[in-house]
Amino acid sequence: MALDSSSCGPASRADKAGQAADAAAAREVDVERSLAATGLGAAAAVQGHVPVIDMSQEGAADAMWQASRETGFFVITNHGIPEKDIDRVFELSAQFFAQNKGDKEAQSPFAHNLNSGYEHFSQVRPSTMTPDQKESLQITARAGCMEGRWPSIPEFEPAMLEFMRAAHALGQRILSTLEPIACPKLSPGTLAKAHNLWVDDGQCTLRLLHYPPVEDPSKMPENYWRAGPHTDWCCITLLFQRPGNEGLECAPNPSVVKKGASAPWLRVDPVPGGIAVNIGDMLGRWSDGRLLSNLHRVRMPTLEESTPPKSRYSTAFFMQADKHVKIEGEVGEPITAGDYILGRIRSNFEK
């Protein structure tokens, strides 16, 4: 992949940015690639579910802090985003993916340097070295990124813009809640202010995901996943799921596995009115590891779940700090959020 240096400035700066980005991504990529050796990447046992937290209840902040440290995943309810708005996004997502591949590519061509547009089975996880069995539409909230990339479906653009505003506001609330324990030396509000929509260097991204039906899971090649084990690149992810679309799982806490204990993966099933939240690598780095950016995967459906075969849909909103923001904790080398994301794009999409 040839990254467009126009998004990075002069060639010399682009080269330096690329080197910094690759170095920053190497640690997380090495973790994913080590899965085969540790066994975490295998179809390990699954037992239990991540915590479900009612944001309207007293003690919600403490529960979010604890889950962010111990599992890196939790599900929130009473979060303030109307269910009808979520349903509308899924309706429009299904309309987009129902089109033929050529039309989707023509309406929203994928641009690596913008991290925007439609991609089809092109993301290869370092943990599996096989392509994820999915297609997606990435809408990056940076000025100019979606010019010539909005699907032609009526109401699509305004509905997505409104939904992104709501998800972004919720993401800022969650970051402000986590900030005192994640980054105690930051001025209050720093994390929320680091994430903006439609500015010149914005990086927050809405990703519509479609996992096509699997006719017979037993005939799929070994080591193929709907989404291979990975960590997210962002500060936090808000994941919207549909009832009946199970399959998302998160790994046990790595500190438990390192001690030799047998620890099963946890389910992250759709919860009525709920949104799954997980900590990403960017916040894990910013917090000096106080919060856990945990491995997760989307398994292939079982034979029972594939009778009859059906699609799986989900929608993710990634809170990714603006490109100029410096990710700097108390330890480790500082890096801009833009260079950080650049390295992760290269590791997952560059062939």
Domain ranges of the chain: 5-349
Residue 194 CB neighbour total at 10 angstroms? 23
Q: Which residues pair with 46 in a beta bridge?
A: 265
> Alpha-carbon distance 321 to 336, whole Å?
9
Q: Which fold has domain 5-349?
A: Jelly Rolls (2.60.120)
- The per-residue pLDDT for 5 is 32
Query: pLDDT, tens digit, for every residue of 215-271?
Result: 888 877 776 778 778 899 999 999 999 999 999 999 988 887 766 556 789 999 999
- The per-residue pLDDT for 258 is 63
Model pTM score: 0.87
- What b/e sequence results for 24-60 when a residue is b if at least 16 CB atoms lie within 10 Å of its CB, and e otherwise? bbeebbebbbebeeeebbeebeeeeebeebbbeeeeb
- The per-residue pLDDT for 159 is 98
**Angle CA 318–209–80, to nearest 5:** 50
| Residue written as token pair 């833009």 | 338
- Find out whether 297 and 211 touch, Cβ atoms under 8 Å: no
Query: pLDDT, tens digit, for every residue of 259-285?
Result: 655 678 999 999 999 999 999 999 999
Query: pLDDT, tens digit, for every residue of 161-186?
Result: 999 999 999 999 999 999 999 999 99
Say if strands 46-49 and 265-267 run parallel, antiparallel, or are unpaired. parallel
Question: Both tokens of residue 42?
Answer: 């295998």
Q: Stretch 188-199: mean pLDDT, rounded? A: 98
Is it the case that residue 123 has pLDDT exceeding 90? no
Amino acid at 285: R
